[in-house]
Amino acid sequence: MASFTVTVQQLRELMETRGAEAIQRIRDDYGGTQELCKKLHTSPTDGLSGDERDLESRRSFYGANSIPPKPPKTFLQLVWEALQDMTLIILQVAAFVSLVLAFIEPEHGGSEDEHAPPEVEGGDSEAGWIEGVAILVSVVIVVLVTAFNDYTKERQFRGLQNRIEQEHTFAVIRKGQMHQIGVAEIVVGDICQVKYGDLLPADGIIIQSNDLKIDESTLTGESDHVKKGENQDPMLFSGTHVMEGSGKVLVTAVGVNSQAGIILTLLGAAHTEGARESTEDKKKKKDEEADGGIPMQDRSDAATSPTKDKGGDDESGHRKEKSVLQAKLTKLAIQIGYVGSAIAVLTVLILVVRHLIQVFAVDGRPWATTDTQHMVNCFIIGVTVLVVAVPEGLPLAVTLSLAYSVKKMMKDNNLVRHLDACETMGNATAICSDKTGTLTTNRMTCVQSYVAGVHYKSTPKYSDLPQAAADKIVNGISVNSAYTTRIIPPEQPGEQPKQVGNKTECALLGYVMDIGKDYQRVRDEIPEEQLYKVYTFNSVRKSMSTVIKLPNGGFRVYTKGASEIVLKKCTSILGPNAKLLRFQPEDQDRLVHDVIEPMASNGLRTIGLGFKDYIFEGVEKVDNSQTVITEEPNWDDEDSIISGLTAIAIFGIEDPVRPEVPEAIRKCQRAGITVRMVTGDNVNTARSIALKCGIIKPTDDYLVLEGKEFNRRIRDANGDIQQHLIDKVWPRLRVLARSSPTDKYNLVKGIIDSKVSDNREVVAVTGDGTNDGPALKKADVGFAMGIAGTDVAKEASDIILTDDNFTSIVKAVMWGRNVYDSIAKFLQFQLTVNTVAVIVAFTGACAIQDSPLKAVQMLWVNLIMDTLASLALATELPTPSLLIRKPYGRTKPLISRTMMKNILGHAVYQLFVIFTLLFFGPNIFGYDSGMGVRVSEHFTMIFNTFVMMTLFNEINARKIHGERNIFEGLFTNPIFYSILVITAVAQVVIVQYGSVFFQTKELSIDQWLWCVFFGCGTLVWGQFITSIPTKRIPK
| Buried-exposed string 965-1001: b where 16+ CB fall within 10 A, e elsewhere | ebeeeeeebeebeebbeebeebbeebbeebbebbbbb
| Buried-exposed string 330-362: b where 16+ CB fall within 10 A, e elsewhere | eebeeebeeebeebbeebbebbbebbeebbeee
d(CA 654, CA 815): 33
Show Cβ contacts of residue 561 under 8 Å, excluding neighbours closer than 6 positions.
Answer: 537, 541, 542, 543, 544, 607, 608
d(CA 512, CA 703): 38
Strands (E), 453-562: 454-456, 486-488, 498-500, 533-535, 543-549, 555-562
Give the single-character DSSP code of 377.
Answer: H
DSSP-assigned beta bridge partners for residue 605: 653
d(CA 834, CA 387): 10
d(CA 456, CA 639): 32
CB distance 573 to 583 below 8 Å: yes
Q: Find the helix packing angle between 937-956 and 974-993, rounded to 10°.
A: 180
Kindly name the residue from 203, 434, 613, 804 that is annotated as catalytic: 434
434 is an active site residue: yes
d(CA 151, CA 159): 12
CB distance 893 to 902 below 8 Å: no
In the chain, the amino acid numbered 687 is R
Sign of the C-alpha dihedral computed for residues 142, 146, 151 and 155 taken in this order: positive
Instruction: Count CB-CB contacts under 10 A for residue 138.
Output: 25
| Buried-exposed string 871-883: b where 16+ CB fall within 10 A, e elsewhere | bbbbbbebeeebb
d(CA 448, CA 688): 16
DSSP-assigned beta bridge partners for residue 652: 448, 606
Q: Count Cα neighbours of 872 within 13 Å in the Cβ-side half-sphere.
A: 30
Q: Identify the three-state secondary structure at position 852.
A: coil
CB distance 229 to 208 below 8 Å: no
Q: Identify the three-state secondary structure at position 716.
A: coil
Give the single-character DSSP code of 362.
Answer: I
CB distance 811 to 878 below 8 Å: no
d(CA 720, CA 712): 10
d(CA 443, CA 656): 8
d(CA 528, CA 536): 13
CB distance 92 to 136 below 8 Å: yes
CB distance 6 to 36 below 8 Å: yes
Catalytic residues: 434
